[in-house]
Amino acid sequence: MELPRVVKQYDVFLSFRGEDTRKGIVSHLHRAFLARGIDKIFKDDQTLEIGDSISEEIKEAIHNSKFAILVISMNYASSTWCLDELQMIMELHKEKQLTAVPIFYNVDPSDVRHQRGTFALERYECSRVMLLFSSKKRAMAAKIQKWREALREVAGTSGKDLSTCKDEATMVADIVGQISKQVFSMEPLDFSDIVGMKVHMERLNPLLSIESEDEVRMIGIWGMGGIGKTTIAKCLYEKYSRRFAHYCFIENVRIAAKNGLPYLQKKLLSNIRGKKQETLWCVEKGCSCIKSKLKDKIFLVLDDVDNVDQLHALAKNTGWFGPGSRIIITTRDFGLLYSFGVRLLYHVSFLDIGDAIQVFKQVAFEGGQAPSDVYQQFSIRASRLAQGLPSALEAFGTYLRRITWIEGWEKALGILETVPHQSIMDILKTSYDGLDEQEQAAFLHVACLFNGTSVQRVNALIDDGDIRTKALEAKSLIEISPDGCITMHVLIEQAAREIVRQESGSMPWRQRILWKTDPIIFVLQNNTGTTTTEGVALHMCEMLQALSIEGNVLNAINNLKFFKAFMHLNDKESKLKFLPGTDMLPNTLKLLHWDSYPMTTLPPGYYPHCLVELNLRYSSLVHLWDGTLDLGQLKRLDVTGSKNLTEIPDLSRAALLKDLIMKGCTRLKQTPESIGSLSCLRKLDLSNCDGLTNLQIHISEKIVLREPGLRRRRQIILRLPRAVKKLNSLANLSIEGKINIGLWDIMGNAEHLSFISEQQIPEEYMVIPKERLPFISSFYDFKSLSIKRVSYSADGVPFRCISFSAFPCLVELNLINLNIQKIPVDIGLMQSLEKLDLSGNDFRSLPASTKNLSKLKYARLSNCIKLKTFPELTELQTLKLSGCSNLESLLELPCAVQDEGRFRLLELELDNCKNLQALSEQLSRFTNLIHLDLSSHDFDAIPESIKELSSLETMCLNNCKKLKSVEELPQSLKHLYAHGCDSLENVSLSRNHSIKHLDLSHCFGLQQDEQLITLFLNDKCSQEVSQRFLCLPGNEVPRNFDNQSHGTSTKISLFTPTLLGFAACILISCERSFNLQFPAFSYDWNSEADEVIWINLKPNLNHSSEIEEEETVASHHLVIIHVPSSLNTEKIEELRLESHLQFPEEEFQFPLGEIRACGIRIIDEANPV
């Protein structure tokens, strides 16, 4: 959050015409301010108005003042000095660098606005005529125009008009009182109250190292505009500056530098030396003065630097300053700091969501607290939009604070989500203006087309991409995520798109980039495209109907570089079609992305010599083009899901091709022989190309020359029909589907290799002995390997796994449904392994060496039906052993006392592990468990040790057919799933339970347990529990739901001003042989206009094998939902409940159940239960 400006030299600057007001109102104002304790006033009583413009001293005083009082008197405009002062003051007022307060002293503001009478500027026009042959003619004309603008602006600025005041004394008292109040509020504050500032100070302290007296330190604070760099610098200044012999805070260096670098140098010297400096005619003289005069220990802050020349002029090197000095530089440009040699750097990051909400509420609400849950939700929404940007949080809070009704907030937030707030726009526009022309173009392309895209792809698509994206990152306009994708703050994206709209005059056919559906349709439909447009991004899902346009429409946009027509992949058909035409694509295209491309081939007249990416997913293509085309720039070709495509043409001239994706091209018979010549190919995806047969893959290692001298480099040889050449760069290979795979020796530099088949999988996974491969001397650097059969078969052919010794770099290993009978002992050598999935195999135990896998966090061995024991892996966080029906032990029994607390396990799935011994004792050792699944066990009561699991939040007991009682649950438990526990008769909840979701469906021994319902809804439980869900068998809505009706809806009158919430009860009847189940996320609710509550139930349905098909069975269940209130009961008198039951229609084509009745009950302070 931005702080008041506390480092200005003057509180008030008085601008006046001396002969009119010096001995009158100006002297009264001066005396009144002194009486109020404000003595930092600049009042020029000595300087004579000599020369063409105001002195440097006055310019500096204006820049260094918090307020400027402009006494506009009869002869004010007769002084060019006064007009120059006015111009400068109004410019700074507009930039919010000071506050201008005009006093219209015996003059009419209208005369000032329209320059009538003594405010007419014709006298200066006459002077211009006289200067007809003077070299100053143009400069004088420009100055007069600025004076006119300043007079108009000051006339519209809030101030005082003597003619409307009671008397002069009253007017003076009002002005002085108002300004004094603001000045005193701007005095140094307790910075510890600023959200997040304590953390910033703690992180900066080691960089400052204030106690170190023997060195000069320069610290750079950088980050995006509006993120709080200046605020942090001010906190440091207030905290440390007075420990130094001299200190100076130069604000807004970027703006002040418009007056010239000597002006900045003079400002620094004046502030430090405390007296007026002689004129500095050049930068070199200023550098010499600073170097010679600032030899003492100094604390200097240079705020908002945007050019390295500014640093060279003010602090070229540490030798200019005395030992122990600290120079703090704030900037948006990391590259500027780095090029200047600053290595002590602090990047200001965004606030997290918790701190952001706190900042927003401090500004938006009196006392910093939201008055209701509705406004709390609004606060979260506004904070998410701001994405942790402090200036945006303050701007949004200030803007919304003035709105006092809920509908107004809703509307205002909707506007803020689509149009950038002006104050934020001003901040971010400054960053844009600081870019060169090429960087500006790259910035707009990223914001409108490529936000969230891989930086490598963007670098390939835009001109000099690697240079441009690095510049944007250095200037805090984009970030590169750890996975290599560009991320741009939503408000920067908003501002960029607003810039595009503004530069086109809001005429879509003139926009550089089009991304909104309606303007794009307008341009395409009316053929109004121009050479201005460089990019189009059309989301076809937003089109209400299909659009057929003339074939030459896109070709008319003859500077078009990027065309994207995309949609959700579950849509069947493109909504953008072309009438017949041969020249429908411009040859300037770098990116052509057209989902469900409607033509059977690319147009014959299209020459893709500029094309970098061709993405035609789910197209109608039969073939791409005829012959061999010049594809010298092409790096990515994606024809995923083009089911009619029969062949890929010759790619021999696509020398730079890196990604070739043909996934799901089911009619593709063969791959082109030219693939073998693609030396840059790194990704080849032939998944689900079912028409390909007998695909063979050979990945091997050879010796090649790289730099001078012999080095080893892994290569990949891919054997395809009639394509046997080397592919040196292939790094990602995906083969799956209905094809037979011949997997030879698995070696090479691919990081991720995946083989999935519905038919046949290689029967052997092995490494050829090194003596048979003389060039191999080290391991292979795969990061992940997946070999899977689609399903497990008990009589499946065993997959032989001999050794892992050559794969120590694996991070993830998945060998699934392969009937492996023994795991190699050397599995323990894979020290980098974090994720292991060996589900659906036939081994009885894992080697003892598995304990050496110190980084293993996730292990899944589901349906390993022969597994009997599992090694003790103390670092595991997730362990899934579902269906290991012969598993006897997780730990060495009996458990040692010292075992407790050794295990880090958070999630444990043991469903259908019925053979486990001493289960309670083993569970007691996993004290950190959050999630536990004990479904399909044969115990009649839950293991006793569960009550000691103080962190447990979720427990599953589904289909425990012998379970009779659930008691002594841990206080931390929030979700309990016990579906299908046929023998269950009792569920005991404490009065302060924390359960939010309780599924007891098909537990018919609990029939209509009203005591359980009452206890579950008890409002005296933990305050963390707000929204709750309960399902249990029942035949009627309980009587205490006093508003009941048959069917899906009911109404209730709202007569209580203390509404806390409501409880809704819904009676469901499920027909035929289906089990109803309510897992997590199986319901939702929302309100409509504060008058209707909608509840949507989305249960799982499973066919019951225990019931004969011809039987008709009806099961009745009660669903009870407790929801806290966010309703405005002062505005509505009646509330209606609407309920809906939703089944998966794609699986069941007949009605399976219905809502028979429903009821609703008000919960208020008088009736909390």
CATH of the domain at 239: 3.40.50.300
740-749 mean pLDDT? 36
**In terms of residues, how long is the chain?**
1169
pLDDT of 696 reads 44
735 vs 169, which has greater pLDDT? 169
The model's pLDDT over 487-517, given as tens digits with 9 standing for 90+, comes to 998 899 999 999 999 888 878 888 999 998 8
In-domain check, residue 495: no
Select the highest-mean-pLDDT range: 411-420, 457-466, 723-732. Answer: 457-466
What pLDDT sits at residue 708? 36
Q: Which of 61-75, 719-733, 999-1013 has the lowest mean pLDDT?
A: 719-733
| 3-class DSSP assignment, residue 1115 | strand
Tell me, yes or no, whether 1101 and 1168 share the same domain.
yes
Tokens representing 95 are: 């930039």
Where among 695, 722, 751 does a domain terminate?
751
pLDDT for 865: 94
Euclidean distance between CA atoms 822 and 818, whole angstroms:
11
Task: Check residue 675 and give its pLDDT.
Answer: 75
Please state which of the ranges 674-678, 875-879, 934-938 shows the lowest mean pLDDT: 674-678
Nearest to 266 by CA among 247, 285, 251: 285
What is the pLDDT at residue 725? 30
User: 1116: how many CB neighbours lie within 10 A of its CB?
Assistant: 18
Instruction: State the pLDDT confidence band at 426, using cuts at 50, 70 and 90.
Output: confident
How are beta strands 1043-1046 and 1153-1164 bridged, if at all? Answer: antiparallel
Average pLDDT score over residue span 810-838: 89
Residue 386 lies in a domain: yes
Q: Which helix (H) or strand (E) holds 1102?
A: strand 1100-1103
pLDDT for the residue numbered 101: 94
**Residue 952 pLDDT grade (very low, low, confident, very high; cuts 50, 70, 90):** very high
Rounded to 5°, the CA angle 752-757-762 comes to 80
**CA-CA distances (angstroms) from residue 773 to 205, 745, 762, 777?**
57, 10, 21, 9
Phi, psi angle pair for 112, to nearest 5°: -65, -45
Q: Catalytic site residues?
A: 85
Closest CA to 834 of 809, 816, 817: 809
- Is 207 inside a domain boundary? yes
**CA-based radius of gyration for the chain:** 38
| Average pLDDT value for the chain | 79
Residue 250 in this model has a pLDDT that exceeds 70: yes
Residue 961 has pLDDT above 60, yes or no: yes
Same structural domain, 946 and 1001: no
User: Whose structure tokens read 């794969």?
Assistant: 807
Q: What SS3 class is residue 125?
A: helix
> Which among 162, 159, 179 has a CA at the least distance from the CA of 171?
162
* Domain's final residue, options 912, 932, 952: 952
Higher pLDDT, 360 or 1087: 360
Do 1129 and 1165 form a contact (C-beta atoms < 8 A)?
no
228-242, 433-447, 557-571: the lowest-pLDDT one? 557-571
DSSP string, 685-740: E-TT-TT--SEEEEE-EEEEE-SSSEEEEE-EE--BTTB--EETT--EEEEEES--
111-160 residue pLDDT tens = 999 999 889 887 777 654 445 545 566 777 788 889 999 999 999 888 89
Closest CA relative to residue 576, chosen from 587, 589, 567: 567
Most confident of 50-54, 1111-1115, 1122-1126, 1141-1145: 1122-1126
Q: What integer pLDDT is reported at residue 213 of this predicted model?
A: 84
Q: Compute the distance between CA of residue 1127 and CA of residue 1136 in angstroms, rounded to an integer.
A: 12
**pLDDT range class, residue 774, cuts 50, 70, 90:** very low
Output 728 or 303, whichever has higher pLDDT.
303
Residue 901: pLDDT band (50, 70, 90) is: low
Decide if 1118 is inside a domain. yes
Cα–Cα distance, 143 to 152 (Å, whole number): 14
pLDDT band at 278 (very low <50, low <70, confident <90, very high): low
68 and 159 share one domain: yes
Residue 85 vs residue 766, higher pLDDT: 85
Measured distance CA(556)–CA(552) in Å, rounded: 6
Mean pLDDT computed over 751-771: 42
Beta strands in 223-360 (DSSP E): 246-250, 298-305, 326-331, 344-347
Any domain includes 430:
no
pLDDT tens-digit series, residues 592-649: 999 989 888 888 878 889 999 999 999 999 988 887 888 989 999 999 989 999 888 8
Q: Residues 1005-1024: what's their mean pLDDT? A: 68
Is the C-alpha dihedral spanning 105, 108, 113, 117 positive or negative? negative
Residues 920 and 1022 in one domain: no
Query: What pLDDT digit, counting tens, does each position of 518-547 carry?
Result: 888 888 888 888 888 999 999 887 787 788
In a domain, 525, yes or no: no
Nearest to 56 by CA among 263, 258, 282: 263
Task: Write out pLDDT tens, residues 1052-1104.
Answer: 766 555 667 778 888 888 765 556 677 766 676 666 555 667 777 777 766 55
Instruction: Tell whether 1029 and 892 lie within a shared domain.
Output: no
Residues facing 1046 on adjacent strands: 1157
Contact 348, 200 (CB under 8 A): yes
Place of tokens 């937030």: 413
* Structure letter (DSSP) for residue 941: B
Query: How many CA atoms are closer than 13 Å to the CA of 898, on its beta-carbon side?
Result: 0
Which of 68-82, 232-246, 566-580 is least confident?
566-580
**Beta-carbon neighbour count of residue 1131 at 10 Å?**
11
Average pLDDT over residues 757-783: 40
892 versus 927: the higher-pLDDT residue is: 927
Question: Residues 987-991: what's their mean pLDDT?
Answer: 86
Please check the confidence at residue 1138 and state whether its pLDDT lies above 90. no
The answer on 160 and 236 residing in a single domain is no
Dihedrals phi, psi of 1117, to nearest 5 degrees: -135, 150
155 and 178, same domain (yes or no): yes
pLDDT at site 939: 92
Query: What b/e readout covers 815-853, taking b as 16+ CB neighbours within 10 angstroms?
Result: bbbbbbeebbebbbbbeebebbbbbbbbbeebbebbebb
Closest CA to 1039 of 1164, 1168, 1165, 1157: 1157
Residues facing 1137 on adjacent strands: 1050, 1093
Which pLDDT value is given to residue 186? 56
Residue among 489, 500, 486 at smallest CA distance from 444: 500
Task: Enumerate the H helices of 294-446 as residue ranges.
Answer: 308-315, 334-340, 353-364, 373-386, 390-401, 406-416, 422-433, 437-445
* pLDDT at position 716 over 60: no
| Domain match, 875 and 1002 both | no
SS3 570: coil
Return the CATH number at 916: 3.80.10.10
Determine the Cα–Cα distance for residues 382 and 360; give it in Å rounded to an integer. Answer: 8
Per the omega criterion (within 30 degrees of 0), is the bond before 894 cis?
A: yes
Of 502, 567, 500, 557, which is closest to residue 524 (Cα–Cα)?
557
Chosen domain end from 952, 973, 988: 952
Domains contained in the chain, number: 6
Q: Residue 1094 in contact with residue 1088, Cβ under 8 Å? A: yes
The candidate with the shortest Cα–Cα distance to 818, out of 835, 837, 832, is 837
- In this predicted structure, what is the pLDDT of residue 136? 63
Q: Fill in the DSSP letter of residue 362.
A: H
Quick check: 450 pLDDT over 90? yes
**pLDDT, mean of residues 337-357:** 90
pLDDT score of 1112:
43
Angstrom distance (rounded) from CA 1067 to CA 1118: 5
367: in domain: yes
Q: What's the CA gap between 423 and 426, in Å, rounded? A: 5
| Whether 210 and 134 share a structural domain | no
Q: Which residue has the higher pLDDT, 754 or 1050?
A: 1050
Strands 1083-1088 and 1092-1097: antiparallel
Residue 374 is encoded by which pair of tokens? 């509705």
Domain assignment of residue 40, yes or no: yes
Q: Are residues 635 and 698 in the same domain?
A: yes
For 911-929, write each residue's pLDDT tens digit.
Answer: 999 998 888 888 988 888 9
- What's the pLDDT score for residue 189? 47
User: What's residue 738's pLDDT?
Assistant: 36
Q: What CA–CA distance (Å, rounded) separates 1020 from 752? A: 53
Q: What is the pLDDT averaged over residues 745-764?
A: 43
- Per-residue pLDDT for 737 more than 70? no
**What is the secondary structure of 1010-1066 as a DSSP string?**
HHHHHHHT-TTS-TT--SEEEEEE-SS--TT--EEEESSEEEEE---TTEEEEEEEE
User: Does residue 696 sit in the same domain as residue 726?
Assistant: yes
Percent of the chain exceeding pLDDT 70 equals 79
- More confident position, 828 or 1103: 828
What pLDDT does residue 912 have? 94
Reduce the secondary structure of 887-927 to three states and give it as a string.
CCECCCCCCCHHHCCCCCCCEEECCCCCCCCCHHHHHCCCC
Buried b or exposed e, range 986-1021, using 16+ CB within 10 angstroms: ebebeeebbbbbbbbbbbbebeebeebbebbbbbeb
Instruction: Report the SS3 class of residue 298.
Output: strand
Q: Whole-prediction pTM value?
A: 0.53
Confidence (pLDDT) at 6: 42
Say whether both 1002 and 1056 belong to one domain.
Answer: yes
Question: Which of residues 204 and 373 earns the better pLDDT score?
Answer: 204
What integer pLDDT is reported at residue 12 of this predicted model? 93
Domain of 655 in residue numbering reads as 621-751
Average pLDDT of the segment spanning 1048-1052: 75
